[in-house]
Amino acid sequence: MSALLSPDTPAYAVPQANLVPVSDHLGKLMPIPASRMFLINKSLKVFQEKQPGVPIFDASQGDGGASLPGVPEALLDRAFELQKQHGTAYDMPFGTDAYRKLVAEKYWKLEPDTGWGPANVIGTQGGRDGLVKAYQAMLTLGHGRQGDVIIVSRVPWISYNWGPYGIGANVMWAPGRAEEAWSYTPEAIQACVAEAAKTGRKVAGLVITSPDNPTGQTLTMERQIVLAKAALEAGVAYVLFDWMYHAVGDSEGSDVNALLRAFEPKERERIMVLDGITKCLGGSNIRNCHLLAPEAVVKMIVAQASHTVIPSFFSLAVAMAAYEKGLQEAAASIIGPCRESRAWLRTYLKDQGLTHIIGQGYYAFINVADAVQAKGWADTEPMGQYLAENVGVAVVPGAFFSPYGGDWIRFSYATPQARTQGAAERLIGALNDLKK
């Protein structure tokens, strides 16, 4: 052991060889903008002031806790009982062993032949926390460098643009066309790897979201596997499957055993799955999600989480109460109305002759280019404010997600069918008026 420096001498906490290299790149980064997703529905207050008593419709957010009943009181009561029994001492950075066991065995029903079990579960404080931890693992364990690339779709969820960027990854929008819902292809993934290489970068990760936010596009398990394998073969370090919306679809959700079995053991070391209760249970403000990840990723995330963000036990307890009951039954008050709204909206949009995407999840993505052009707007950003303030319907402009969504709006149907119908009918009336 080397001799200690005098206590009067400044000393680094890590050896010289492990110091973070000096770089001025932080001063050159684009400022990360605050998300406008949380503000668009505030414009509804202007409409209420103009027309008091007239119903308003918030079709902007996929927040079942706001537009649908949210987590049932019985589950909250059960979670509180678990909290009282458990106490308020520190837990492990992954959550608790009981939580891991319920997620692995009761919820996912992980089979022994997959090689994955409770030790592959990491509790996180919501989806954003889980994603940031996944990105950090991708960069660190992928190629060991900042500045490498995370691939997302051409029109991604807005936080996919900025979450990776904030921790030192460069986000690349994959090639994709509107008529194909901007879906990945193996060729597009390969093109991203080649483009990154032109600037000396490698691809640390690919994010596959199904059902997608914002478009609602839903991929079959077979297609997700094809894309993931293409990415791994092209040299992408990790593939993350973001399945946050899968449980609110028309089926009972994705089969993680089928996913794991499609990959050889060495390939499984390079995939992760994100899921949780923020969407399917209307638990947006409960902040519970989890990552399924290989051993090396779990080890790294747990070590770092011990110094950063440890999930709160109550958030784990709400999920545990739901998984004890069975998620489909526990979340019936969210899942049922979403399915009814989706069925109605799918028929309605088709009958209106609108170009749109509606798969599963919470969202329909609707092309409103005719109305945008008629008003002389550059994209749908001003339409969002116009609709909220003058029509009483809040939607999210597709331009918020990327320039390629500039002719589109995101319409959330995470509401009871009657409210979805009221919002959609008023929206269509407004679009027709804008085109006059």
Tell whether 236 and 340 lie within a shared domain.
no
Model confidence at 6: pLDDT above 90: no
Tell whether 259 and 404 lie within a shared domain.
no
- 291-317 confidence digits (pLDDT tens): 999 999 999 999 999 999 999 999 999
Residue 30 located in a structural domain = no
State the helix-helix crossing angle for 221-233 and 186-198, rounded to 10 degrees. 30
Residue 290 located in a structural domain = yes
Tell whether 317 and 375 lie within a shared domain.
no
Model confidence at 97: pLDDT above 50: yes
Model confidence at 60: pLDDT above 80: yes
Residue-level pLDDT at 62: 78
What percentage of the chain carries pLDDT values higher than 70?
100
Q: Which of 330, 349, 377 is the last residue of a domain?
A: 330
The mean per-residue pLDDT over the stretch 401-421 comes to 96
Q: Which of 304, 330, 356 is the last residue of a domain?
A: 330
Tell whether 159 and 169 lie within a shared domain.
yes
Q: Which residues pair with 289 in a beta bridge?
A: 124, 276
Residue-level pLDDT at 1: 45
pLDDT higher at 66 or 72: 72
Provide the number of structural domains found in the chain. Answer: 2
Tell whether 114 and 255 lie within a shared domain.
yes
| C-alpha torsion 17→22→32→237, nearest 10 | -40
Domain region containing 389? 36-70+331-434
The mean per-residue pLDDT over the stretch 104-124 comes to 98
CB 66 within 8 A of CB 284: yes
Q: Per-residue confidence at 2, pLDDT binned at 50, 70, 90? A: low
Tell whether 223 and 144 lie within a shared domain.
yes
- 363-403 confidence digits (pLDDT tens): 999 999 999 999 999 999 999 999 999 999 999 999 999 99
- 227-265 confidence digits (pLDDT tens): 999 999 999 999 999 999 999 999 989 999 999 999 999
pTM: 0.96
State the helix-helix crossing angle for 73-86 and 313-325, rounded to 10 degrees. 120
CATH of the domain at 411: 3.90.1150.10
Q: Which of 330, 351, 382 is the last residue of a domain?
A: 330
Tell whether 223 and 313 lie within a shared domain.
yes
Residue 6 located in a structural domain = no
Query: What average pLDDT is seen over the chain?
Result: 95
Tell whether 93 and 60 lie within a shared domain.
no
Tell whether 335 and 321 lie within a shared domain.
no
CATH of the domain at 258: 3.40.640.10
Question: Is the peptide bond preceding residue 214 cis, with omega within 30 degrees of 0?
Answer: yes
Model confidence at 65: pLDDT above 90: no
